[in-house]
Structure 1
Amino acid sequence: MTAPSPKRRQPRRRRRGLGLWAFFFSSILLLALIGALGLGLYGVQLDKVVREKFEGQRWALPARVFARPLELYVGRPITQDALIGELERLKYRRNAGLERAGRFHVEGDRVLIRTRPFRFWDGAEPEQRVEVRIADGLVTDIRSGANGRDLALVRLDPALIASIYPTHNEDRVLLQRKQLPPLLIKTLLAVEDRSFYKHQGIDPRGIIRAAYENLMAGRTVQGASTLTQQLVKNFYLTQEQTLERKAKEAYMAVLLDQRYSKDEILTTYANEVYLGQDGSRAIHGFGLASRFYFDRDIDELTVPQIALLVGILKGPGEYNPRRNPEQATARRNLVIDVMAFHQIITADQAEAAKSSPLGIKDGGAKPSGVYPAFVQLVRRQLQRDYREADLRSEGLRIFTTLDPLIQSQTEAAIGERMPKLDKQRGYSLGTLETAAVVTSVAQGEVLAIVGGRDTEYAGFNRALDAVRSIGSSIKPVIYLTALAQPERFSLVSPIADKPISLRAGGELWTPKNYDHRVHGTVPLYKALAKSYNLATVNLGLQVGVGEVAKMLRKLGAVRPVSEVPAMLLGSASLPPIELAQVYQTIAAGGFRAPLRAIREVLDASGQPLNRYPLAVEPVVSSDAAYLTQWAMRQVVEQGTATWLKQRLPDGMTVAGKTGTTNDMRDSWFAGFSADRVLVVWVGRDDNKPMGLSGSSGALRVWGDIMAEIGSEPLSDAFPDTIEIASACGSSDIPFSRGHTGGSAACGGGGGGRSRSAPAASDNDEPKLAQGEPANQPDPTPPRRERQERPQNSPFMSDFYGN
């Protein structure tokens, strides 16, 4: 009998269902673990990004360019008004209590100053209280305000005159946490992130609140980004509006908050936040924005100014106070209401703040500074004197030779004189242009540059780039070339002022004197003082045109000149800066020091950059240089620049030379005192004749400037290598010892009318013709027909040319 077969168990459907759910949940858990692992790994990567930038170099800082510091010492020539003007240019504020650095107070002949600390290239200058007494234009006493002890020297912090920016054109004035005003911090947090010190980088309550408000309004009316999120967006991410970027922003904000303190995050935000645009330059951070909008440091801002800066954060374009003052005012007043609501300020303060003007200052924190012509020279000399690799370093500190006091005095003198010259010639205002260069004699430092009548224009710089014929300004070079040969020439050597004609290639060159006269045989110094063209040409041909060109290069001219006879009367073309170099070498006794606008460059760590050596070298004998200086003094005493004797202060002895080019297209005066070299050019940009000679145009500007900048007169003492002898009725003619320059010429013979052709040369003032009195108003020169430029002329090339 067979056993019954066992019954098959029916599968339990319920258990199978549970297995599917277990599989589903285990899969979800596995995916969650994988996601968490991936998110964690992604967080590690993001954390690395956060740390690398936050702990490394956060910003590409621009190079800061500083003027020379004002140094005060007993005996320093300066008036009280000039000192106050310098302090105001440095943004020092009047404050009787001197409560903080950058304040000053005036009591009678005393100026009380609380200086700012500053680190120079040669060490740090501490903050201190000083008392400066000034009498009769001199510093008579300097004492410490703390203990009353005498101080030998006080050096004020230099003015920041410009910034040279990195390639991306961002700029900042970096602030530390302690430099952020409490009022600014409270206002910022009240408006942008009231829970900043409580949340962990993101604010969930704020997110929910903003979502509700936006849902009720049907549009975005409120944001939920914390300051930390805003910093992440600006510092690490782009501005694109996507969920991916938002999620990344939140994640990085949490990581940032975990890694760094609230104060570190807040300080970085204050330095990073975008607050406007200045052309191609982005304005980042409250420090720069304070200067850009109000021309003030951040710690000097008022309630309405702080409210405006915080208000601009919402939309720097929409609330730009310069373009949209009404919208900016409304936004500022809303911030002021928030300040009052949170009791940051009182109701009375709020009402006063809302009724105040915006107070925007034009020109604050300019990218090229207030001295664009000088900054252009700085840029060029950086390339000349420093390695390109070093200049790519960020955060350089460039200390320059600019003297803001002399610069402002030069600009003021030009601003006053040039309209008078326009009016004198019957031109519309602004027709005539000008350029000026001021240097120091001893160091060859460029103290001031004016590149045109609009001194704030950062475009064409006539002082550096206007290459114009220099006219009679070349004559001292010719006479120096002769005096460098004492065996042949002395100051009283006879020079023939007689007609001369030269022919080459079928063309005839016949120069003449301005007064259409010849003066016979004259002493060498008189030929220069009176700017006799015929005597100069005859002398130049004796020493050789090539030798004169060589001397011009020795003195510092770098542009090539055509070695043709017309060069002897000014066909050579140079910009004012090169002519200043030439006269600098003469004024320095024959020692050439390449003109420099930079004293020192420090890298971001305060270490000086290596620079190419700029050696001072003797290029001509000191005796010849001194004798040329003496002859140039006679230009002022008895020659074409006698007007200066009535313009300059008594006892101010100077030397110089006028220059006028063909058809009066260019007017020059170049000269020097014991410590200053000054070159001035006046002309038209279209190179048309203007009717002003060297003495009726540039000389007037030169005299105004020199009278203002305060210079030391040339000394009457003679060097040991010079002896004094009697000649030509004078007992004080200097000679080189052992000179054998021949007999003296002591008179001007002739005097008859020259029959030579019309002049193609520099012709200075008709009032200074033989026998005419000096110090008379400049008459209008006789009108002459314009001569066409001869083609391929060995004489006229680069002279008639425009």
Structure 2
Amino acid sequence: MFKTRHLLLKLLTVCLVIGGGYLVYLDARITTTFTEKMWELPAKVYARPLELYAGASLAPDDLAYELEILGYRKVGHTAGPGQVARNRGRFEIYTRGFDFVGEREPARRVLVDLAGSRVDSISEAGRPVDLMRLDPVQIGGIYPSHGEDRVLVRLGEVPPTLVKGLLATEDQRFYQHWGFSITGIARAAFHNMQSGRVVAGGSTITQQLVKNYYLTPERTLVRKLNEVLMAVLLELHYDKDQILESYVNEVYLGQEGPRAIHGFALAARHYFDTSLEHLDLAQQALLVGMIKGPSLYNPQRNPERAKTRRNVVLDLMAEQGVVTQAQADAAKAKSLGLNRARRVRDSFPAYLELVRRQLRLEYRQEDLATLGLSIFTAFDPIVQRQLELSTTAVLDQLDKGGQLQAASVVTRVDSGEVAALVGGRRVSYAGFNRALDAARPAGSLLKPAVYLAALERPTHYSLASVVPDEEFAVQLPDGDIWEPRNFDRMAHGPVLLYQGLANSYNLASAKLGMDLGIDAVVDMLRRLGMEGYIPPVPAVTLGVGEYAPIDLAAMYQTIAAGGFRTPLRSIRDIVDARGEPLRRYPLEYDRTVSLQAVNLLHYALRAVVREGTGKGVYRYLPEEFDVAGKTGTTNDGRDSWFAGFSGDLLTVSWIGRDDNGGTGLTGSSGALKLWAHFMARASHRSLAYRMPDGMETAWIDAETGQLTGEGCPNARLMPFITGSEPRQRSNCSGRKNPLRDWFQSLFGD
């Protein structure tokens, strides 16, 4: 008997030690992670805010689109934030307001009048508004692996009726119990015994929070015991308001694709497109009712079931004295009032991937997914929309079978910011991102580097220098012979340097590159912003190598910016969860190429579109709208390229096949059409011309490259670095010329 008691005492001691140790483990788990979990937030990625001011280029339909994707509701007359009333070109907008970096844009009602495709005036209560910004579109997020998303709020920011309705429905004795309810557990046990399985939990709000934070969703007695123990420990360490605040931010309220909607604040945005503070009683009751079954009572999928559940909650709120029965009845009479705006979050996967890659250079994925960062980007939804429309329209025209793919990168000429990006034919598909990863030969898109390297040597080369477009061969180090050919399989004899680029002559370009030296060509490509591997072989003059559209956009950005190398960037600012600036990405630039030489290259690239391989752009653009660009075609028409810029936008477009098969397209018959279709609709500023110091113009005979007179045969006005003009002169001294060439027209009357 004594031995039995002794053994039982030992077993009891062991159980107490194990149990005590387990409680210590649970306690440590709660105290070390509860605060972190309470503030675990994914990063939010925002587009640029739309700036409105008198004179801004903006079409009425573009403003309407921006407001649509922002979720502004169309009404007859605005009465609260997030609403818009439109009468043709007049928009009455009640803005939501937004906390920008270091500045608050207030919520206000404004009148925006547009005339044609420009903002005519902005006023607020009859007073003019010089400048305002709409709240930026959230285009995506960087979520934890479990995909949870939430918007944190303090308990004091939650409408009192929502809090009281929550307690009345989910846990009437919340402020009296110690984390669990004996009556609730007993009631659940009775139902479970009746059914023969676990069908009810009898959980308090504290228990639900513990389950969401720490436990798996399966219904077992062991998990239930852990839930009760941890709920008690949680109540020992934290006060009731802290627990309730955490619950308000944590409760699961539905799903949007892979994104889990947590917390009342995010649910208010998701289902009603309004802030938590602006929810009416009916909307509050609907969200509270969804807690019982977010899928079962999802108002978007099961509206009648959701309305029935909402009305049950309203009756319960009236019964508990939260509201009067009259208030409950009035709320029950309301429609669901759901947000019907189109979903744009995570609809731009190609651009979001660019943002993520830039972020990964400086932040851990874990931090991005949990620290609640706000990432403000240069993404322009209006430009993106047009790029997508143009991509679809042109590919449908070129290829009914769906074999062709396309990719484009659009940047702002003045800043190097990436405004829009398409990674494939399925513009919203989060698959292979060809804009960033489709490494293909560049064809003639690399030729400007050859000509720029020459033009940096004004004592040897000018736009009027004569270069031979003749067949030649080069023996390579491995003994092979490299023999370039023109696209038309013809040699064109002596041509002026600018003509070699304008007409994309391979022989002239390759010969010029060989005379300069391949090292000089590679060095120029590096200075223009090409960072990947560049093969130092003669064929690099004709585009050999592997380059993605984003790589070529970096190169042409430097050209468009007048020789200032401006790293492409997608992010403007990063703000922490408290709204404090964490990192800014200001404009960076470094002059890497002669300003005068780039100016000459601009002339040659204008000639490409005015008289050379790219002149098809003016089937889309107005004749007076100046642009510069370059076509590119690789062997057997596998890749069709076009890169070019106006006064505000630079765009690089590619069309090809994923299997590297022939397309039957050249740069002119493929990518040029996509580029021009887009630029004709998205670009608002013609490419201006201003000749820098150290340059002058002269009349040149376009056949011989000699100085000539205005009005002489083949005469054209051309720019030169001072002292680099031709020495020889034609026999024609000049006469009055009623016609002006395109370059002369840039100088006006």
- Shorter-chain TM-score tier: 0.7 to 0.9
More divergent stretch after superposition (542-551 vs 190-199): 190-199
Matched, 1:125 2:97: no
Give the Å deviation of 1:241. 5.0
Show the 5 A alignment for 1:402-441.
Answer: 402-423=379-400, 428=401, 430-441=402-413
Cα deviations by residue, 1:276-333 (Å, 9 ceiling, x for unpaired): 56676544323444556677766787999877755553455777789xx5xx568535
Q: For residues 744 and 708 of structure 1, what CA distance do their matches in structure 2 show?
A: 44
SS at match of 2:152: coil
The 1:44/1:523 distance shift into structure 2, 3 A limit, reads: closer
Q: One-letter code of the match for 1:627?
A: L
Aligned-partner Cα distance in 2 for 1:391–1:631 = 45
Q: Deviations over 1:679-703 (max 9, x none)?
A: 0000000000010110110000000
Matches within 5 A, 1:588-603: 588-603=561-576
Residues 282 and 106 (structure 1), Cα distance of their counterparts in 2 relative to 1, 3 Å cut: closer
Structure 1 counterpart of 2:417, one-letter code:
E
1:87 and 2:87 aligned: no
Report matched runs for 1:243-282 at 5 Å.
Answer: 246=224, 249-250=227-228, 253=231, 264-276=242-254, 282=260
Partner SS, residue 719 of structure 2:
strand
Aligned to 2:643: 670
- In structure 2, relative to structure 1, the CA distance for the partners of 1:317 and 1:127 (3 Å cut) is closer
Equivalent residues of 1:493, 1:744 under 8 A apart: no
**1:727-738 superposed matches below 5 A:** 727-728=700-701, 729-738=714-723
Q: 1:689 is aligned with what amino acid?
A: G
- Greater mean deviation of Cα atoms: 623-632 or 153-162: 153-162
Partners of 1:225 and 1:684 lie apart in 2 by 57
Q: CA deviation at 1:109?
A: 3.6
Residue 550 of structure 1 aligns to a residue in which SS? helix
2:355 aligned partner: 378
- 1:149 and 2:149 equivalent? no
Q: Deviations over 1:140-171 (max 9, x none)?
A: 222233xx333221022211111112455432
Tell whether the 8 Å contact from 1:483 to 1:624 is kept in structure 2 after alignment. Answer: yes
1:483 to 440, 455, 477: 455
**Distance of 2:172 and 2:730 partners within structure 1:** 92
Structure 2 residue identity aligned to 1:379? R
- Give yes or no for the alignment of 1:99 onto 2:70: no
What CA distance in whole angstroms lies between the structure 1 residues aligned with 2:366 and 2:303?
47
Q: Does 1:545 align with 2:518?
A: yes
In structure 2, what residue type is equivalent to 1:485? Answer: R
| Contact 1:292–1:363 (Cα < 8 Å) also in 2 | no
SS of the equivalent of 2:127 reads coil
SS at match of 2:457: coil
Listed one character per residue, the Cα deviations across residues 44-91 of structure 1 (whole Å, up to 9, x for unaligned) are 998887676566661321121111111112211112221121122112
Instruction: Please tell me the residue identity of whatever aligns with 1:537.
Output: A
Comparing 688-697 and 563-572, the one that deviates more = 563-572
Superposed CA offset, 1:587-636 (max 9, x none): 11111011111112223333433579984111110000011011110111
1:537-571 C-alpha deviation (Å, 9 max, x unpaired): 22222222221121111101112222222222222
Amino acid at match of 2:427: T
Question: TM-score scaled by structure 1?
Answer: 0.77
Choose which of 640, 643, 647 in structure 1 pairs with 2:616. 643
Q: Counterpart of 1:285 in structure 2: which amino acid?
A: G
Residue-by-residue CA offset, 1:314-357 (whole Å, 9 max, x unaligned): 455777789xx5xx56853551452465467867976886xx89
SS across alignment from 1:468? coil
Is residue 684 of structure 2 the alignment partner of residue 706 of structure 1?
A: no
Q: Is the 8 A contact 2:575 2:583 kept in 1?
A: no
Q: Could you say if the C-alpha distance between residues 239 and 572 of structure 1 is closer, same or farther in structure 2, counting changes exceeding 3 Å? A: closer
Number of positions where the alignment pairs a residue of Structure 1 with one of Structure 2: 700
Aligned partner of 2:306 in structure 1 is 332
Choose 688-697 or 115-124, whichever is displaced more: 115-124
User: For the residues of structure 2 that align with 1:364 and 1:723, how far apart are their CA atoms?
Assistant: 51
Gap runs ≥5 in structure 1: 1-34, 747-802
- Give 1:582's aligned residue: 555
Match of 2:206 among 216, 222, 228: 228
Equivalent position of 1:22 in the other structure? none
Aligned match of 2:141: 163
Tell me the alpha carbon deviations over residues 2-53 of structure 1, each in whole angstroms, 9 at most, x when there is no partner. xxxxxxxxxxxxxxxxxxxxxxxxxxxxxxxxx99x9999999988876765
Q: Which runs of 5+ in 2 are unaligned?
A: 1-14, 319-324, 702-713, 732-749
Identify which of 45, 63, 67 aligns with 2:43: 63
Distance 1:603 1:336, change over 3 A: closer
RMSD: 4.0
Q: Determine if contact 1:295/1:364 at 8 Å carries over to the other structure.
A: no
Whole-Å Cα distance in 1 between the matches of residues 629 and 206 of structure 2?
A: 65
Q: Residues 742, 667 of structure 1: CA spacing in aligned structure 2 closer, same or farther, 3 A cutoff?
A: farther
User: Distance in 2 between the 1:256 and 1:715 partners?
Assistant: 67
Task: Name the stretch that deviates more: 155-164 or 51-60.
Answer: 51-60
| Contact 2:444/2:504 (<8 A) preserved | yes
Whether 2:51 is the aligned partner of 1:74: answer no
* Residue 462 (1) aligns with residue 444 (2): no
CA pair 329-445 structure 1, distance change in 2 beyond 3 A: closer
The answer (yes or no) to whether the contact 2:572–2:586 under 8 Å persists in 1 is no
Partner SS, residue 163 of structure 1: strand
Which residue of 2 is the match for residue 572 of structure 1? 545
Q: What is the alpha-carbon distance in structure 1 between the residues aligned to residue 479 and residue 496 of structure 2?
A: 34
When structure 1 is superposed on structure 2, of 288-297 and 408-417 the one drifting more is 288-297
Distance 1:604 1:213, change over 3 A: closer
For the structure 1 residues 329 and 647, does the alpha-carbon distance in structure 2 shift closer, same or farther, using more than 3 Å as the test?
closer
The match for 1:720 is: 693
What's the offset of the Cα at 1:677?
0.7
CA contact (8 A) 1:277 1:283 kept: yes
2:468 aligned with 1:496, yes or no?
yes
Establish whether residue 739 from structure 1 lines up as the match of residue 724 from structure 2: yes
Distance 1:224 1:745, change over 3 A: farther
Give, in angstroms, the shift of residue 385 of structure 1: 5.5
Distance 1:238 1:715, change over 3 A: closer
Selected match of 1:474 from 435, 443, 446 = 446
Larger radius of gyration: 1
Distance in structure 1 (CA, Å) of the matches to 2:609 and 2:584: 40
